[in-house]
Structure 1
Amino acid sequence: MTPTESTPTKAEIYAACRLDFGTFARKCYECLHPGEPLKDNYHIDAICYQMDRVRDGDNRNLMVLMPPRSLKSEIISVAWPAFLLGHDPTLRILVASYSQDLATSIHRTFRKLISHPEIQAIFPVFANKAAKDTESETHLSEGGFRKAVWVDGGVTGQGAHIHIIDDPLKASDADNEAVCAKTAEFFDNTFSSRTNSPAEFRTVLVMQRLSEYDLAGHFLKRGDFEVLKISAIAENDEKIPTGPGLFHNREAGESFHEAHYPLEELEKRRRTMTPRAFSSQFQQNPAPLGGGLIDLSKFKRYETPPKVWDDRFISVDASSGADSKSYDVILVGRISNGRLYVTNVIRKKLSLYDLLDMVLEADAKYDFDRMVIEKTANGRELITGILRKYAGREDKLIRYPNFIQGITPTGNKVARMEAAMIAIAAGKVLLPKCAPWLDDFEAELRAFPEGKTDDQVDALSQAVKYFDFFMNDPLNRDIQGWPAYPKVK
């Protein structure tokens, strides 16, 4: 300490706690765990920053996915409601869990916190006698409350401004699709109906992943949640926001919290747990039973794709129609110096007409050298549509012999992907370290062959097949001898 510095007074510390949620959350830990020094870490800053954004209205739907024992519940379900109510004692907060025992246990921790003398000194509102204080509800005299609810208990009474969902599914029910569907229905319909001011209503889900059917998976499909996901061991290089304009740079292979979970300990857990359990609970990457054919660690990674390439193409896996359960997928690939770079993946449910438009728009933007299209069902119709649109185009059909590469799939999906794994394991197929589409793409690969969808897998195996063909025959005669340009009537 320099001569000009001095130890902050209690009044200054309490003032800082009122101003900054990160400071307050650390004070809460001190009050709840006396004599246990906090093993501070960047992930606490990351959580607190996201909670500030929710409070300020910058984000109304947040999902926090982290390994067990990372303080996520204590920060979000205990400290944050206290901070909110300390500033606005009229706020109404519902906190839901899968069982009564868990919900009331978390609420007891909240009651313990707000009864602590230091928390009452920071927020004097908690020193006043509560209008109601039970094992599941604490109501302030100003009208605000924190109320614990659980899935089987229903939700009655007043609505809320903020919903916190903390551990909504029991681990033993993770693979029970009926229970998972019932849980999703509860939160979609019953729980979500208990709202005040719908235009300003906010929801926070905090949990560790359990399966592809869990509530996080359900909300991810909706697409209206921002996600803070931190895996126990980084699978890629990451930049994790910890404040406005601030980031923690995390390298692939790092433990998320070396002081609490040393890498050696995490590797020990990986060996003693089933691969699926570790991937779900610690890596936040659930895979279904039977998944795991594709080892993501075999993919090389790149920061930016090469600016010079030998071939730029798309691999298209067309669905059987907009009403089918499958998706249309366009995978953009770039072959450079003997390697295949996957640069973009587009996955949508489209009509054949819309898929044709999307392919043509993508080609207008990127000017592909080749189009690789599966010759089944809508794939053949797509090829015919492209040929009609490009009839007479010297820059495509004449300039590039065999511009359209039609592939007739052989063998089943598993066999085709196993064949593709040869090039992947040899380090010849690269994925980006970061991309908006990457999480969904990797999730499907990780779940294959037992996942609900496999269209992106098909587009990838097809792209790798074309890559192998190109490397062996760069003049690009048509694959399997199919005429490149069938006569268009």
Structure 2
Amino acid sequence: MVNRLMAAGGFLEFARRAMEAKGQMPARHHELLIEHLQSVADGGCDRLMVQMPPGSAKSTYGSVLFPAYFLAAKPRGQVIAAAHTASLANHFGRRVRSSIEENGGWLGVAISKDSKAASRFALDGEGEYFAAGVRGPITGRRADLIVIDDPVKSWAEAESQTARDALFDWYRGELTARLKPGGRVVLIMTRWHEDDLAGRLLAAEAGWKCLRLPALAEVGDELGRAPGEALWPEWQGREDIERRRLEVGERAFAAMYQQAPLPPDAAFFNTARVRIVPEAPPLRQVIRGWDLAATLAASGRSPDYTVGLKLGVTEQSLLVVLDVVRLQAAPAQVEAKIVEMARQDGPGTVIALPQDPGQAGAAQIAMLTRSLAGYKVVASPERDAKTIRAMPAATQMDGGNLAMVAAPWNDALLAELRAFPHAGKDDQVDALSRAVNTLATTMAGAPARRLHLPLMAR
């Protein structure tokens, strides 16, 4: 009876039964995904790439229900599941185990009584499931099916050439070496970068079937949607998606929501969205972010600038650049300028300073803090790459939420923003990034609806 049911309905029937028990049913895009995964189970496709935006439930069907169905359809099958961390991989594994336990009667399979681990278990029919994080221990394991879900951890990892190379080398040198002859691979991910694992595989290997479903439909949509139609309107309509577009910025939206990462040479900052205002509006908080350089200019040498950028935020959460000072100076002159600007700005302005690693950096901050007695000083190290630190500022600019007070320094700042990250100088960008990011930690009760500054830590 079980085999006839599976033959009649296959993965779609199982998915409907499993989701109905939770009070849900597959949406239109889920049924298309199920159709592609059925082809993997049947042997019609051995390399499937699934690209969908966050919140589309692609993992529920691809990483939870599909491995359970595959093990029922292939009683001696072996599955390796991988994700960016062992914690996430184990989370998927626990859900797969629960799905088998809840639906084992219909599937005709049961977990071996000797298998106690939540995410690494065997079935009575000799099938096996093994979950591991990227670059985790898989030596000695074999697989008829490999499911990779969300292999990229963060923007910092996606932007790192070293991290991208390491992931690709692990995929080709270790993970796929575990495949049996005729084995299949399913890669499920949201895009991050043109050269992420999905992009590199599409460029390097023929034979991949790619199911790409953007949040907002484009011409030639695989679901037959009209351009601009939402992927899952019952869950998130077009208006909500467009709001999210403003919140995360065009660069992040193109990659993560439309599955179309912008090329590296695309403009990082959308300076066309910056407003120039004649004077500063009423502000609820002001920060001057500093980027420090302590080398004097000399013949044949053009060192970095020390830059202090003053940023305010209104009650409506509009960010306004109020002032920029730049100098190439020795350490004593830099310290004197920081103190001078603090006096001009007044004690209500937060002073945000970068701290170099090690004892020397701590000593420098201690010295500056003593010189700035009576002012609020916030210091922290620069841990991430410049582009990652600049992402929140770029997001605000994309959303038209950044303005500048009309001043002689406008042109130099805008020129540096347009050229970032390919220009020789980026000190003003670094100072802007510090001011915007410090705002996220010092501004109590800020309306998160507009700012969304924690994007940097995704």
Give the TM-score category using the shorter length: 0.5 to 0.7
Q: Is the 1:133–1:139 Cα contact (8 Å) retained in structure 2?
A: no
5 Å matches for 1:458-469? none
Q: Indicate how the Cα distance of structure 1 residues 30 and 292 shifts in structure 2: closer, same or farther if over 3 A, else same.
A: farther
Q: Indicate how the Cα distance of structure 1 residues 252 and 185 shifts in structure 2: closer, same or farther if over 3 A, else same.
A: same
2:115 is matched with: 132
1:207 aligns with 2:189: yes
The offset of 1:251, in angstroms, is 1.2
1:229 is matched with: 212
The offset of 1:180, in angstroms, is 1.1
TM-score by length of 1: 0.52
2:262 is matched with: 287
1:148 is matched with: 131
1:164 aligns with 2:151: no
SS at match of 2:188: strand
Structure 1 unmatched ranges of 5 or more? 1-10, 241-247, 296-447, 452-489
CA distance in 2, matches of 1:76, 1:449: 38
The offset of 1:54, in angstroms, is 1.3
CA distance in 1, matches of 2:55, 2:4: 27
The offset of 1:292, in angstroms, is 4.8
CA distance in 2, matches of 1:292, 1:251: 29
Q: Indicate how the Cα distance of structure 1 residues 109 and 179 shifts in structure 2: closer, same or farther if over 3 A, else same.
A: same
Q: Indicate how the Cα distance of structure 1 residues 233 and 94 shifts in structure 2: closer, same or farther if over 3 A, else same.
A: same
1:28 aligns with 2:15: no
- Could you tell me which amino acid in structure 2 is paired with residue 37 of structure 1? Q
Q: Is the 1:175–1:211 Cα contact (8 Å) retained in structure 2?
A: yes
SS at match of 1:196: strand
CA distance in 2, matches of 1:73, 1:210: 17
Structure 2 unmatched ranges of 5 or more? 271-418, 423-458
Residue of structure 2 aligned with 1:217, choices 192, 196, 199: 199
Q: Is the 1:99–1:150 Cα contact (8 Å) retained in structure 2?
A: yes
CA distance in 2, matches of 1:13, 1:226: 28
SS at match of 1:20: helix
Q: Indicate how the Cα distance of structure 1 residues 203 and 449 shifts in structure 2: closer, same or farther if over 3 A, else same.
A: farther
SS at match of 2:66: helix
The offset of 1:216, in angstroms, is 0.5
SS at match of 1:284: coil
1:262 is matched with: 237
TM-score by length of 2: 0.55
- Could you tell me which amino acid in structure 2 is paired with residue 285 of structure 1? A
CA distance in 1, matches of 2:246, 2:85: 31
SS at match of 1:202: strand
Q: Indicate how the Cα distance of structure 1 residues 252 and 292 shifts in structure 2: closer, same or farther if over 3 A, else same.
A: farther
CA distance in 1, matches of 2:421, 2:224: 34
The offset of 1:213, in angstroms, is 2.4
Q: Is the 2:47–2:186 Cα contact (8 Å) retained in structure 1?
A: yes
Q: Indicate how the Cα distance of structure 1 residues 267 and 17 shifts in structure 2: closer, same or farther if over 3 A, else same.
A: farther
- Could you tell me which amino acid in structure 2 is paired with residue 90 of structure 1? R
1:274 is matched with: 249
SS at match of 1:133: coil
The offset of 1:59, in angstroms, is 1.4
5 Å matches for 1:71-82? 71-82=57-68
Q: Is the 2:72–2:109 Cα contact (8 Å) retained in structure 1?
A: yes
CA distance in 2, matches of 1:449, 1:237: 34
- Could you tell me which amino acid in structure 2 is paired with residue 28 of structure 1? A
CA distance in 2, matches of 1:450, 1:188: 31
The offset of 1:17, in angstroms, is 8.5
Q: Is the 1:114–1:120 Cα contact (8 Å) retained in structure 2?
A: yes
The offset of 1:13, in angstroms, is 13
2:395 is matched with: none
1:109 is matched with: 95
Q: Is the 1:164–1:205 Cα contact (8 Å) retained in structure 2?
A: yes
Q: Indicate how the Cα distance of structure 1 residues 83 and 47 shifts in structure 2: closer, same or farther if over 3 A, else same.
A: same
1:37 aligns with 2:37: no
Q: Is the 1:166–1:206 Cα contact (8 Å) retained in structure 2?
A: yes
Moved beyond 6 Å, runs of 4+: 11-14, 448-451
Q: Is the 1:93–1:164 Cα contact (8 Å) retained in structure 2?
A: yes
Q: Indicate how the Cα distance of structure 1 residues 19 and 449 shifts in structure 2: closer, same or farther if over 3 A, else same.
A: farther
Residue of structure 1 aligned with 2:167, choices 183, 188, 204: 183
Q: Is the 1:17–1:23 Cα contact (8 Å) retained in structure 2?
A: no
1:56 is matched with: 42
- Could you tell me which amino acid in structure 2 is paired with residue 72 of structure 1? K
SS at match of 1:249: coil
Q: Is the 1:291–1:449 Cα contact (8 Å) retained in structure 2?
A: no
The offset of 1:212, in angstroms, is 1.5
Q: How many residues align?
A: 272
- Could you tell me which amino acid in structure 2 is paired with residue 196 of structure 1? K
CA distance in 2, matches of 1:95, 1:288: 30
5 Å matches for 1:74-473? 74-116=60-102, 119-126=103-110, 129-172=112-155, 173-197=157-181, 200-224=182-206, 225-238=208-221, 240=222, 248-288=223-263, 291-292=266-267
Q: Is the 2:112–2:122 Cα contact (8 Å) retained in structure 1?
A: no
CA distance in 2, matches of 1:120, 1:14: 15
SS at match of 2:224: strand
Same amino acid, percent of matched pairs: 28
The offset of 1:228, in angstroms, is 0.3
CA distance in 1, matches of 2:123, 2:3: 25
Superposed CA RMSD: 2.7
2:403 is matched with: none
Q: Is the 1:98–1:167 Cα contact (8 Å) retained in structure 2?
A: yes
* Deviation digits for residues 411-466 of structure 1 (CA, Å, limit 9, x no counterpart): xxxxxxxxxxxxxxxxxxxxxxxxxxxxxxxxxxxxx9989xxxxxxxxxxxxxxx
CA distance in 2, matches of 1:264, 1:17: 41
